[in-house]
Amino acid sequence: MFPRPAPRRRLATATVALGLLCSLSTSAWAGSRHPAPAHRHARVTHVPSAAGSSTPLSAFAIQSTAKVDDSAEAVSSPGYPAADWYPAGPRSTVLAALLANGRYADPFHSTNQDKIPRADFQVPWWYRADFTVADTTERTHLDFSGVISAADVYVNGRQVARAADVTGAYTHHELDISSLVKSGTNTVAFRIRPNEPNKNLTMGWIDWLQPPPDRNMGIVRDVLVRRGGPVGLRDAHVVTKLAVPSLATADLTVKAQARNDSATAVTAEISGTVAGAAFTRSVPLAAHETKTVTFSPADVPGLHLTSPKVWWPAGMGAQSLYDLDLTASVSGTASDTAHKSFGIRDVQAPLNSDGARQYRINGRKLLIKGGGWSPDEFLRWDSTYVEDRLKYAVDLGLNTIRLEGHIEPDEFFDLADRYGVLTLPGWECCDKWEGQVNGNGESGDEWTTADYPVAKASMAAEAARLRDHPSVISFLIGSDYAPDATIEKNYLDALKAADWPNPVVSSASDRSSPQLGSSGMKMSGPYDWIPPNYWYAKREGGATGFNSETSAGPDIPTLDTLRRMMTPAELDTLWKNPGTRQYHRSPSPVFGTLKIYDAALTGRYGAPTGLTDYVRKAQLAQYENVRAQYEAYARNATDASKPSTGMIYWMFNSGWTSLHWQLMDRYLDQGGAYFGAKKANEPLHVQYSYDDRSVVVVNNRHAAAGGLTARATLFNPDGTQKYDKTVTGVTVNGDGAHGTALTLPASVSGLSSTYLLRLTLTGADGKEVSRNVYWLSTKADKLDWAKTDWYHTPTTGYADLKGLASMAQAPVSATASTESSGGRSTTTVTLRNTGSGRTPSLFTDVHLVDAQGKPVLPVRWSDNEVGLWPGESVTLTATYRTADLHGSAPGVRVSGWNTPEQTVPAA
C-alpha cells in the first residue's frame, strides 16, 4: 500500500547443511476460525510406511521457553513430559493456540486484543510433536515451510537444522532424518523465534488492522513426514503451451527431479500419466545424484493435445483441470510418487499504448475487477471460511483476488482454480520485504548479506508451489516499491529456474525495475473517503489504467456486526465523535479516525440522529460509492484513449472486525458495499455516468446483446415523476463493451435538489434484465484536485442528498418460503410496495435470520437493497447451507431507507 506510515521487516537462509537435503516446494498454513476444545495432550501422528506417502503432523504441544528449563535434547526426545504445555493445531501461531485454549477473551471484540501482554511473545516458544513409524526400511524426510520467523529444529534429541538456516516464512526445507528415525515413537521439536516484520522476511499487517501481539510467530503451514525408497521425486510440474487464439492444440512438457538419496548407484524407472498419455523412462543415477527428467511431445506424441480442455476464469468458460501422476521405481518396487493438478491456459499482460498493463486470458482481453485479500489475523486456516469468501467473489462478479504478502496455502489456490477466481500474489510493502528500496519514512530495516539468499529462496519456493495453478496469473515482486537490480535479478533467476509461466510485474505502484521496466500499474489511492464522481475522472485513482489498490476507505458493517464487535459505549462514540480514534479502524495515524468519512456523511445526508440512523446512512453511502467505483472502471475499459485495464478494491475483506476496507465483514454479513459491487458487476448492466450524465449499457458476457430497451426516469423524493425517456433497439458488443443508450438533460424543470434516477434494461422478450436506482443531487460534490495527497482528494463541497430524509414511509409487504435439499436451502422472498401514493421504497434490504433474529451467514442473494415504486414487486432468492440455521426455522427481516422494519416467517 502506497506511502502509508506503518510497520516493516527482515531475515535469513533456506538451505540446510549438516549433510541434510533441501529442495523446493511447500505445504499449507494456519489454524482454525473457531476456537477448538483444548486437549491436554497433543495427538500422535501415525506415519505409514508406503513409498511416496506424505503425512502432515496432526498437532503440536507448545510452551514458552521462559517456562521450560530442560535442554533442547530432552524436550525433543520421545517420552518427554509436556503435560502442562498447550495443545496447538498442525498450522498454528502461538497466539492462535492460546486463543483456542481459552487463554484470552475474544480478540475481535472491543479492545480485548490490546490487553494481551506482548512480553509473552518476545522469547522463543517450543513446538513439539510425536509421530510413529512401523519400520525404518523407507527413508524419512521432514518437509516444511511457513516458519515465522525462524527455528532451530530437533529430532529425537539431535539438532538437525539451525535458525540461521530455517528462517523466513516462505522458504522451503526438506531434512533427511532417516538416520535418526526409529520404529515406534519419534519426536520433532521446533524452537520458534519471535517475529518482527521490520527485521524478518516474513509477514506483517502494515496498516490493515491492529497487529497481533505475537506478530504471528509460529508454524503456519503443514510439517510433512515423507517416506520413500532410495529415489525421490521432487519438483514435478507441467509446462503448458496453448495455441492462441485458436485454442485448437496444446503441448504439455512434464518435468521432475529424480534424486538418488542412497549411497549407491541405481537405475530408476520414471513413469507417468497425464491427459490420457502414458510414458516411461529408465534413468541411471549415481550415488546422491539428482537429474531433471523431461517428457515432451517430441518423445511422447500423446503430450500434444488436440481440442484441449481450456481453463477459463468464472464467467468466461469452464474451469477444466488435468492431473499428472508420476512414479519412480527401483528394481520393480515403487520408491516415490508425485501428483499435480494443473490447467491449460495462456496469460499475457503487455503494456498498452498508455503504458497500462492489459491482461489477456487465452487471447481475450479482460478488465481485472478484484479485491485485496486478507487472511485471518491469527493466520488460522479454515477451508470452509475461505471457500465461502471465494464464492462471494464470484457472486460479486469479481474475477481477481490480490494477495499482498500473506500468500495462502495450497488449498486456497486449489479453490481459486475450482471457482475460476484469478489471483495476483506478490510480496508485501512497508516492512523488511522492501526495506532495501523503500522511501523516506517507510518502515523496514535495510537488508544484510544474509537476507538476499532468503529472499531468493522464498521466491523459488513460492514459484514452484504456485506455477501449476491456472488461477495464478502473475507475481508482483514489489508492492509500493520495485526491487533494485540485485534483488530483481535474484527473483527473476529463481522464477526462470522454476519454469514460471506467467507475467512478472515489478511492483504494484507506478515504478520500474531494471530488467522488467515499468509495472504498468498505479497506486495513486484513494484510501479514504472521496465522492462517487471522483471515479469518473481519468486522473489520480480514477478509472484509467490499472489501479492495484483503491477505495473510498471506511466500510461500516451492518448493525448486527457492530453490536458483536463493539461495546455500547464504543458504539455511542462511533456515531457521536468523528475525531475519536477507532481501535477497529487502523493503528495508522492517517487512518485512525473516521473524521473525513463522517464529515461527508453529515455534509451529504445530514447529521446522524442515532446509531441506527448513522449505520443506515453509511450503508447508503457505501452502496453508491462502491457501485460508482466498479461502474466507472467498467465503462472506461474499452475506451480508445486511456482505457481502464484493472482495479483492485482495497480491500476485499478484513482479517478481523474492521470499520474499513472490506466488501463484507468478518462474519460474512453483507451491506451497502457488497451489494453496490454486486449491482455494478452484473453480466448485462445499465448504469449512470456521474461525469457526463450518460446512461450506458455494459455487456460483460462474451456474446453481443441486441434488441435491448433502456429507460431512464427521474423522480423527486416524494415520487413525482419529472422526466422519462425510453430508447429501443440498443445493441452492445460482448467482452466488456459498452454502449450509450441516452444522455440525461443538464437541467429538468421542477427537479428538486435531491432526486432519484431509476434505470431499467429489458431484453427483446420484454423481461427486465437490469434495474439500477440512484440518489443524486443537482449540486455536485466538488473535489480539490490540487490538494490531492497519497490517500485522498479533499472535497470542498458536498452533494445535497438531505432531501432523502423527507421521503414518506413506503409500506412493503413480504412473503417468503424455503425449500431444502442435499444440505442446501433456498429461501424465496417476494417484496411488494403496497403504498397507495407515489413514494418509492428506497434501499429495501432483506436479511435472512434465525428464530432469535440473528443473521444466517453466509448467504448469497440474487439481488438486494432494491428500490420499488408503488405497485411494483420483486422476487429475490437466498441460498445457504441448511446447517447454518442450527435447527432454527428461517425468517426474513425486511427494512429500508423509508420502510419500517418487519420480520416474516420463511419456513
Active site residues: 480, 549
Q: How far apart are the first and last CA of the chain?
A: 46
CA angle 860/865/867 to nearest 5° reads 135
C-alpha cell at 327: 512414479
What's at 20, amino acid-wise?
A: L
Give the closest residue to 752 by CA, choosing from 781, 780, 798, 718.
718
Give the closest residue to 630 by CA, choosing from 675, 585, 695, 597.
675
Residue 903, SS3 per DSSP: strand
**DSSP H/E element including 190:** strand 184-192
Assess contact for 572 and 608: CB atoms under 8 A: no
In sequence order, what are the residues at sequence separation of 6 or more whose Cβ sits closer than 8 angstroms to the Cβ of residue 282?
Answer: 267, 268, 269, 270
In sequence order, what are the residues at sequence separation of 6 or more whose Cβ sits closer than 8 angstroms to the Cβ of residue 289?
Answer: 259, 260
C-alpha cell at 44: 500422535
Distance of CA 790 to the CA centre of its chain: 24
What's at 624, amino acid-wise?
A: E
In sequence order, what are the residues at sequence separation of 6 or more whose Cβ sits closer than 8 angstroms to the Cβ of residue 649?
Answer: 370, 371, 372, 550, 551, 626, 629, 630, 663, 677
Residue 253, SS3 per DSSP: strand
C-alpha cell at 760: 431499467
Alpha-carbon distance of 95 to 386, in angstroms, equals: 20
Q: Are strands 545-550 and 644-649 parallel, antiparallel or unpaired?
A: parallel
What's at 623, amino acid-wise?
A: Y
In sequence order, what are the residues at sequence separation of 6 or more whose Cβ sits closer than 8 angstroms to the Cβ of residue 606?
Answer: 617, 802, 805
Assess contact for 454 and 168: CB atoms under 8 A: yes
List, in sequence order, every residue forming a beta bridge with 147; answer none if it has no partner: 219
Q: Which long-range contacts (CB under 8 A, 24 or more apart) does 109-112 make?
A: 109/564, 109/565, 109/566, 109/657, 110/565, 110/566, 110/567, 110/570, 110/583, 111/583
- Residue-wise over 530-562: b if at least 16 C-beta within 10 A, else e? bbbbbbbbbebbbbbbbbbbbbbbbbbbbbbbb
What are the backbone dihedrals phi and psi of residue 142, each rounded to the nearest 5 degrees, phi first?
Answer: -100, 125
Query: In angstroms, what CA-CA distances link 50 with 53, 138, 176?
Result: 6, 8, 17
What is the secondary structure of 635-703 as a DSSP string?
Answer: HTTT-SSS-EEEEEES-S--SSS-SBS-SS-TT----HHHHHHHHHT-SEEEEE-TTT-EEEEEE-SSS
Residue 120, SS3 per DSSP: helix
